């Protein structure tokens, strides 16, 4: 199914930007030939591309064997430049050069192309070896070199493209015809998949310093040892795929992996997506949830009436990672387009939350949620790079795409972080609300303050925020707030913490009410404290201990109350400014 959908994408997109069995590679050197056979060697490096610029060149997966590429290959193949000074390396370079020359002659013999004749005559007469005098000493045997004849790259001539396609089929074909499992037709079957996924296209994780690790080229299907094949059979003998299907699928896969509009790169995985038919939907809104885009999506889903419209468009998404030289398919999704829109709408509705620093409901980018699972650096006021929960990004993405619950480990991990660093911000609150809204909790949690909620942990969170505000108003110069000292205790032991803090708050309120300048504020805070306390059943009181679900409710109540108070303060300030302007 996956390979069929990739082939459909190739057909629907009219994708023929790069010839089959060609890949964009960095070409460092160019051999320039004129019609008289005069040759020169030029460097393609410049200030922006110190290793040369990228070109589509003939390419097939090359392992340890000798396999020359037509016209564009390394200095080792073209000039027999060895990797080092050993006899073994020199012998290997000469074998590779022989293969390169044999391929040039085969191309010349197979076509009536005057360019093929000219190139072969130059190499047969060994005039190309004269160019070695112009090669700097630091040139690497792995540097790519291609041939330009009269201003045209020889490897993109029609005769070269068609000849290389035939060579590729011969190298990768099993030599047998059979029923292709993908297209269902009898065709020449592949021995191995003709191309690998380039190493740079699939992230493989970060090192200890938070830098991306270097990966390898990886194969989508690889059966090269007896332990991996059914009954010990290796290669694609038990997975019959024809050359046309294998080549088209890999071309589509590499194209999608290279396209910024169709991929999302994580730390150790990459998501690619496409639609059966073009449509106005971009799943990357999950990383940049602009308000107008999210509101349009929510409106579209809300206004749609399931069952009244025939929608045959489909959404496909594939999540890949790499294990050494093999591609790992982490997730595959094939759903109708309205369904994926409904799931994305649910994702935004389930995590939307108010923010202390601005009015209205906010939607949080997925990458910010992932970062917020890490360790908070209080001195630098950032999350420590590389400290995010391992695998969380992939799990959150899976939850968004499939509409499923968050991983069970998320809530304990977040609560552990918050107990230790006491840091609460919009991404953490959004994740906690998301977790509480979906199974196994499935609670109806408001995105902002719920003034009528009587759930003791939620009310306790509101009370703690108010106690903190009272302390801040009474002791504005205090070095440490009650959050700094008691937040971890308050998360787990509400009753004991409340008894201690309420006694302190009485003193703070007495101080505020005792001064004329702060008396109105003190009375207002005292009244609010009393009114919120009434939401608790005084026959039962606050619980002695909170479980994970109660701790989440406590944090949400605390954050919602703070966001509500700051929004009220902004509104009061704006009203005062308006009043002052009118009076003036």
* 514-520, Cβ contacts within 8 angstroms, sequence gap of 24 or more: 518/473, 518/474
For the residues 168-178, what does the mean pLDDT come to? 80
Return the SS3 of 178.
strand
Whether the CB-CB separation of 40 and 131 falls below 8 Å is answered with: yes
CB atoms within 10 A of CB 177: 13
pTM comes to 0.79
* CA atoms of 131 and 139, how far apart (whole Å): 13
* CA atoms of 424 and 464, how far apart (whole Å): 14
The reported pLDDT for the residue numbered 64 is: 61
* CA atoms of 335 and 312, how far apart (whole Å): 10
Whether the CB-CB separation of 196 and 217 falls below 8 Å is answered with: yes
58 forms beta bridges with: 22
User: Position of tokens 């690497």?
Assistant: 140
* CA atoms of 546 and 542, how far apart (whole Å): 10
User: Which pLDDT tens digit goes with each residue over 226-267?
Assistant: 777 777 777 777 888 888 888 888 888 888 998 888 999 988
For the residues 76-105, what does the mean pLDDT come to? 92
Whether the CB-CB separation of 505 and 532 falls below 8 Å is answered with: no
Q: Tell me the percentage of the chain whose pLDDT exceeds 70.
A: 97
Buried b (16+ CB within 10 A) or exposed e, 508-528: bbeebbeeeeeeebbeebbeb
The reported pLDDT for the residue numbered 117 is: 94
Tokens of 499: 């008894």
Return the SS3 of 508.
helix
* CA atoms of 372 and 393, how far apart (whole Å): 11
Which of 83-92, 482-491, 525-534 has the lowest average pLDDT? 83-92
The reported pLDDT for the residue numbered 309 is: 59
* CA atoms of 242 and 193, how far apart (whole Å): 10
The helix or strand, by DSSP H or E, that contains position 25, with its residue range, turns out to be strand 22-27
Sequence ranges of the domains in the chain: 1-242, 353-574
Ramachandran bin of 38, using left for φ above 0, alpha for ψ from -120 to 50, beta for the remaining angles:
beta
* CA atoms of 473 and 511, how far apart (whole Å): 10
Helix intervals (H) in 173-290: 243-258
Tokens of 189: 């079957």
Residue 101 has pLDDT above 80, yes or no: yes
Q: CA nearest 17: which of 193, 297, 293, 256?
A: 256
Ramachandran bin of 266, using left for φ above 0, alpha for ψ from -120 to 50, beta for the remaining angles:
beta
Nearest-10 Cα torsion for 576, 579, 581, 584 = -120
Which of 130-139, 163-172, 215-224, 488-497 has the lowest average pLDDT? 215-224
User: Which pLDDT tens digit goes with each residue over 314-367?
Assistant: 999 999 998 888 899 999 999 999 999 999 999 999 999 999 999 999 999 999
Helix intervals (H) in 373-493: 392-402, 410-421, 426-437, 456-474, 482-492
Return the SS3 of 242.
strand
Q: CA nearest 429: which of 458, 400, 404?
A: 458
The reported pLDDT for the residue numbered 35 is: 84
Residue 15 has pLDDT above 70, yes or no: no
CA atoms within 13 A on the CB side of 282: 14
CA atoms within 13 A on the CB side of 75: 24
Residue 62 has pLDDT above 90, yes or no: no
**What confidence tier does 311 reach under pLDDT thresholds 50, 70, 90?**
low
The helix or strand, by DSSP H or E, that contains position 180, with its residue range, turns out to be none
Tokens of 180: 């292709």
For the residues 175-191, what does the mean pLDDT come to? 86
* Residue 175, phi then psi, degrees to nearest 5: 85, 0
The reported pLDDT for the residue numbered 408 is: 93
Question: What's the length of the chain?
Answer: 584
The reported pLDDT for the residue numbered 417 is: 96
Whether the CB-CB separation of 89 and 83 falls below 8 Å is answered with: yes
Q: CA nearest 557: which of 503, 490, 500?
A: 490
CA atoms within 13 A on the CB side of 83: 6
The reported pLDDT for the residue numbered 416 is: 96
* Residue 86, phi then psi, degrees to nearest 5: -80, 155
User: Which pLDDT tens digit goes with each residue over 363-399?
Assistant: 999 999 999 999 999 999 999 988 899 889 999 999 9
For the residues 554-582, what does the mean pLDDT come to? 90
């Amino acid at each position: 199914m996956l390979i069929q959908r990739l082939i459909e994408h190739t057909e629907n997109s009219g994708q023929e930007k790069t010839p089959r069995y060609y890949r964009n590679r960095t070409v460092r050197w160019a051999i320039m030939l004129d019609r008289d056979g005069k040759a020169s060697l030029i460097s393609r490096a410049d200030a922006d591309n110190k290793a040369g610029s990228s070109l589509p060149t003939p390419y097939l997966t090359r392992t340890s064997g000798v396999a020359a590429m037509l016209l564009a290959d390394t200095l080792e193949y073209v000039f027999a430049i060895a990797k080092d000074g050993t006899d073994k390396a020199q012998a290997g370079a000469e074998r590779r050069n022989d293969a390169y020359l044999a391929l040039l002659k085969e191309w010349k013999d197979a076509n009536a192309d005057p360019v093929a004749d000219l190139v072969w005559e130059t190499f047969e007469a060994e005039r190309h070896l004269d160019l070695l005098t112009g090669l700097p000493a630091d040139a690497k045997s792995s540097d790519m070199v291609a041939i330009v004849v009269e201003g045209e790259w020889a490897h993109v001539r029609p005769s070269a493209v068609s000849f290389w396609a035939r060579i590729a089929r011969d190298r990768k074909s099993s030599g047998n015809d059979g029923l292709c499992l993908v297209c269902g037709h009898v065709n020449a079957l592949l021995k191995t998949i003709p191309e690998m996924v380039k190493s740079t296209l699939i992230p493989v994780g970060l090192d200890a310093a938070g830098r991306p690790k270097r990966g390898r080229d990886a194969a989508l299907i690889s059966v090269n040892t007896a332990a991996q094949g059914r009954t010990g059979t290796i290669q694609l003998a038990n997975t019959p795929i024809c050359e046309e299907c294998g080549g088209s699928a890999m071309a589509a896969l590499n194209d999608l992996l290279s396209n910024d509009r169709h991929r999302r790169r994580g730390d150790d995985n990459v998501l690619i997506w496409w639609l059966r038919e073009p449509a106005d939907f971009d799943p990357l809104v999950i990383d940049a949830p602009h308000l107008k885009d999210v509101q349009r999506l929510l409106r579209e889903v809300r206004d749609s009436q399931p069952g009244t419209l025939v929608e045959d468009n489909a959404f496909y998404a594939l999540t890949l990672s790499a294990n050494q030289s093999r591609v790992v398919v982490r997730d595959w999704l094939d759903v109708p387009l309205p369904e994926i829109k409904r799931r994305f709408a649910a994702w935004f509705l389930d995590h939307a939350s108010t923010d202390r620093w601005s009015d209205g409901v906010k939607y949080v980018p997925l990458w910010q949620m992932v970062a917020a699972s890490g360790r908070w650096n209080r001195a630098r006021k950032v999350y420590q790079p590389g400290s995010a929960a391992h695998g969380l990004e992939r799990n959150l993405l899976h939850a968004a795409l499939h509409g499923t619950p968050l991983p069970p480990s998320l809530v304990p991990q977040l609560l552990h972080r918050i107990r230790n660093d006491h840091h609460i911000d919009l991404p953490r609150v959004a994740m906690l609300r998301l977790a509480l809204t979906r199974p196994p909790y499935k609670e109806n949690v408001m995105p902002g303050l719920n003034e009528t909620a009587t759930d003791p942990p939620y009310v306790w969170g509101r009370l703690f925020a108010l106690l903190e505000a009272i302390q801040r108003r009474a002791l504005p110069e205090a070095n440490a707030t009650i959050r700094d000292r008691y937040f971890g205790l308050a998360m787990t032991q509400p009753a004991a913490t409340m008894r201690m803090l309420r006694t302190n708050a009485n003193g703070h309120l007495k101080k505020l009410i005792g001064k004329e300048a702060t008396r109105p504020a003190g009375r207002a805070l005292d009244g609010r404290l009393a009114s919120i306390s009434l939401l608790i059943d005084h026959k039962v009181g606050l619980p002695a201990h909170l479980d994970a679900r109660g701790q989440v409710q406590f944090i949400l109540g605390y954050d919602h109350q703070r966001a509500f108070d700051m929004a009220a303060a902004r509104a009061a300030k704006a009203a005062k400014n308006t009043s002052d302007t009118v009076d003036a």
